[in-house]
Amino acid sequence: MKCRFGLVAALLSGLLLSAGSSWAADFPNRPIKWIVPYPPAGTTDVLARIVAQSLSERLGQQVIVENKPGGGNNIGTEFVVNAPADGYTMLLVNPANGINATLYKKLNYNFIRDITPVAGIVRTPNVMVITNSLPVKNVAEFIAYCKANPTKVNMASSGSGTSVHLSGELFKYMTGCQMAHIPYKGAGPALTDLIAGQVHVLFDNLPSSVPHIKSGRIRALAVTSKNREPSMPDTPTVGDTVAGYEATAWFGIGMPKGVPREAVDRINQEINRILADPKMRERLADLGGLPIPGTPEDFGKTIASETEKWGKAVTASGATAE
């Protein structure tokens, strides 16, 4: 009896291994849905569609970008959290996922617990831009001006709790500058008022500010990344003046908790190959993006560290979800 039981167990084990190998070899055998928790046509949506096109070609199956904006990214994120863990639903992971963990007092999910990190894609810096009427030429002079005029400087943002807002709050926290936060509904109206001199400073996403910087309608003091931005080599970093300061937008792919490792590894491998393509790197550079290839575990560490960093910024700022 013991011999027969052992034989049956061995056969079952072999069948399971065979089924797993077959699943892995067959993945994907139908289209993959990629949830982007932003409206169409914005920089984030464009990024996803560029990568999705290349990923579709490499996988031999269509990667369909589906926009699910609203709720400060929470609607799209919660959709993926509750999706089947079969590898056919992905999330465009972004800074809001790290910010919202602290910004929202109650969420229907725990991002770090409920999402499986798959692959990093890019980091993009914000840029510290000021209205032309402000009498400063660099970050050090800006800090001195703020401290000499503690009630006069207004800091715009594209919305309370966004990475644009919290990049500024992190700056305030690390420098002791006092600035009144003026939230707008998007970067467009914030830039309009910055150009008009109604507000004084904005820590904006680089792509939306670049045209206005180049036209001379606003001035760039520094980029918020650790290193200088290749497309703006003469612009220093905030960290050159404020030691340790870094605030970047980061994007990648996540899947629901419990997804098969084979699916994670396949997508990760293809994303890394895409990011190694010189033409893709050039296209991402046009969006101000620096590729962040690596393992799923590498991207998981990025999510954890960014969540911790932005949590401190949210707490220090007193920001709450609108």
Any domain includes 9? no
Of 139, 190, 174, nearest to 247 (Cα)?
Answer: 174
According to the model, what pLDDT value does residue 18 have? 46
- Same-domain check for residues 184 and 264: no
How far, in Å, CA of 213 to CA of 137, rounded? 14
According to the model, what pLDDT value does residue 4 have? 56
Q: How many domains does the chain have?
A: 2
- Same-domain check for residues 275 and 226: no
Q: What is the domain extent for residue 217?
A: 125-240
Query: The tokens of 107 are what?
Result: 């969420």
- Same-domain check for residues 183 and 37: no
Per residue in 69-107, is it b (16+ CB within 10 Å) or e — as a string? bebbbbebbbbbbebeebbbbbbbbbbbbbbbbbbbeeb
Sign of the dihedral defined by the CA atoms of residues 255, 259, 265, 269, in that order = negative
User: Which of 218, 240, 262 is the endpoint of a domain?
Assistant: 240
Q: Residues 221, 245: contact at Cβ < 8 Å? A: no
Contacts of 19 (CB under 8 A, 6+ apart): none
Q: Residues 277, 54: contact at Cβ < 8 Å? A: yes
Any domain includes 15? no
Alpha helices in the chain (DSSP H): 2-26, 43-59, 74-81, 95-103, 111-114, 139-148, 163-175, 187-196, 206-215, 261-275, 278-286, 296-317
**In tens digits, what is the pLDDT along the chain, a chain of 322 residues?**
544 555 555 555 555 444 445 556 789 999 999 999 988 877 788 899 999 999 999 999 999 999 998 888 899 999 999 999 999 999 999 999 999 999 998 999 999 999 999 999 999 889 999 999 999 999 999 999 999 998 899 999 988 878 889 999 999 989 999 999 999 887 888 999 999 999 999 999 887 888 899 999 999 999 999 999 888 899 999 999 999 999 988 999 999 999 999 999 999 999 999 999 999 999 988 877 889 999 999 999 999 999 998 898 888 878 777 5
Q: Is 173 exposed, middle or buried (0-12, 13-18, 19+ CB in 10 A)?
A: middle
Find the farthest-apart pair of alpha carbons in the chain and give their distance in angstroms, rounded: 90
User: Which of 240, 273, 299 is the endpoint of a domain?
Assistant: 240
The pTM (predicted TM-score) of the whole model is: 0.81
According to the model, what pLDDT value does residue 322 have? 57
